[in-house]
Amino acid sequence: MRVGIVSDTHVYDRAEELGSEVLEAFRRHGVELILHAGDLTSTDVIEELREVAEVVAVQGNMDAYYGTSLPLREVLTLGRHRVLLFHGSGIYPRGNPEKLAYLAKEHGCGVVVTGHTHRAALVEMGGVRIINPGSPTNPRGGYPSVAIADFGDSVRVELLRV
């Protein structure tokens, strides 16, 4: 299964729009599902992404301030893989791979999709694959990005500049 992954879009509080580059990248790569790891700050983002594929989103630390009510975590089965979708709020230091891997294992997952740092990262920690797509609208110390993941026998991930 081909999955588009995005986080920290911050539409209307830090960015005027999601940007057509994100939708075009997901269309070009033929994604069947889109995971949003929080800090949408507007549910308009979900509606835009649904033009491309089904969307599963979780709440980020900024979403409650903007009236966005989403679950804090979701556990999904994608192919043969159990995936924890979690923004990363409450993990200190921010993006700590050891703590994210521990949390994934607590939920019986071998993959965690996270955000919160606004920095794209692919990390393997204690047998857990950690995928952070960065931010397409408000990157910190990098470039605007999303991720494409193929969940088959293994998990293959590509970070894309948008």
DSSP per position, 76-140: EEETTEEEEEE--TT-SSTT-HHHHHHHHHHTT-SEEE--SS-SEEEEEETTEEEEEE--SSS-S
Q: Would you tell me how many other CB atoms lie within 10 Å of the CB of residue 22?
A: 25
How high is the pLDDT of residue 120?
97
pLDDT tens-place values along the chain, 162 residues long:
999 999 999 999 888 999 999 999 999 999 999 999 999 999 999 999 999 999 999 999 999 887 778 999 999 999 999 999 999 999 999 999 999 999 999 999 999 999 999 999 999 999 999 999 999 999 998 899 999 999 999 999 999 999
134: domain CATH number? 3.60.21.10
pTM for the predicted model, two decimal places: 0.97
pLDDT reported for residue 148 = 98
What region, left, alpha or beta, does residue 131 occupy, with left being phi > 0 and alpha being psi -120 to 50 degrees?
beta
Domain count of the fold of the chain? 1
**Whole-angstrom distance, CA of residue 159 vs CA of residue 162:** 10
Residue 62 CB coordination number (10 Å): 19
Provide the residue range defining the domain that includes 137: 2-161
